[in-house]
Amino acid sequence: MSAPVLDVRGLAYAYPDGHQALFGVDLHVHRGERVALLGPNGAGKTTLVLHLNGILTAGAGSVAVSGLPVEKKHIQEVRRRVGIVFQDPDDQLFMGTVRQDVAFGPANLGVRGAELDRRVMAALEQVGMAEHVDRPPHHLSFGQRRRVAVATVLAMEPEVLVLDEPSSNLDPTSRRELADILRALDVTVLMVTHDLPYALELCPRAVVLSGGTVVADGSTYDVLTDDALMRAHRLELPFGFDPRTLGPGVGTGQGTAPRRTPDTGGSVASPGTHTNPGDLT
């Protein structure tokens, strides 16, 4: 198997107030995978994600993106490679037109002229928003703004797309349209979500983070049908939804039992630089 595009080894982190958020997390994601990051509130999902593009710095352990260590000297390239789409698209859309918002990131990297125009239009075409290129973002529907927010990251031509609760506040049609877009993208996806049916639909693999450690890593179907695992880590399926009625092949390929990780206490990190994690959890 090829080297992982995301390679997290022994990652531990404590906030300046002494709160230990991560205890020796290992996570390896390979190119082209779509992986759901699941877990209860306070599990450490936010903290983990903010290490992937250097917003937070590891207290112990390491993070690498396609072999490039996430360190200060590489930070600009790391942030090009790993793009985060936040839950609220209005956190990412702040310019006067859709074109300007999508161009903002690559322009900051020095992309200009025809190449910048190409990137903007290519990103908008991937999310089905090219016809809205000159509209003000605040005139768009919520679902359209979320698609434009995805385009702002795609214009950077990232290797990894990190999505925070991508299905939240979407009507059923917008939810399906976004799923179709995500399936068509030629990019590695890490999806942080509490929407377990959406995780099953889109992500063959799921990683469960709880109490700052990885407690399971396996096929999404097998994670969601492990009743003891689900109860132990405060994961609950929506009323009336049972993955067993769909079978193990839905969205996941062949099922394999989720690997449970014993709670060993992990590493204790020295306090790192504090950054407001936002609303990723």
pLDDT in tens, 7-61: 999 999 999 999 999 999 999 999 999 999 999 999 999 899 999 999 999 999 9
Given a cut of 90, is residue 189 above it in pLDDT?
yes
Given a cut of 50, is residue 79 above it in pLDDT?
yes
Domains of the chain, earliest start first: 31-58+78-260 (3.40.50.300)
pLDDT value of residue 1: 59
Given a cut of 80, is residue 2 above it in pLDDT?
no
Rounded CA separation 123/150 (Å): 8
- Residue 137: pLDDT band (50, 70, 90) is very high
Given a cut of 60, is residue 267 above it in pLDDT?
no
Rounded CA separation 117/113 (Å): 6
Average pLDDT of the chain is: 90
- Chain-centroid distance, C-alpha 199: 12
Give the mean model confidence (pLDDT) for residues 86-94: 92
Nearest Cα neighbor of 178 from 159, 198, 194 is 198
Rounded CA separation 122/103 (Å): 11
Give the mean model confidence (pLDDT) for residues 254-274: 49
pLDDT in tens, 161-179: 999 999 999 999 999 999 9
Q: Is 221 exposed, middle or buried (0-12, 13-18, 19+ CB in 10 A)?
A: buried
- Residue 249: pLDDT band (50, 70, 90) is confident
Rounded CA separation 223/207 (Å): 8
- Residue 270: pLDDT band (50, 70, 90) is very low
Rounded CA separation 22/10 (Å): 9
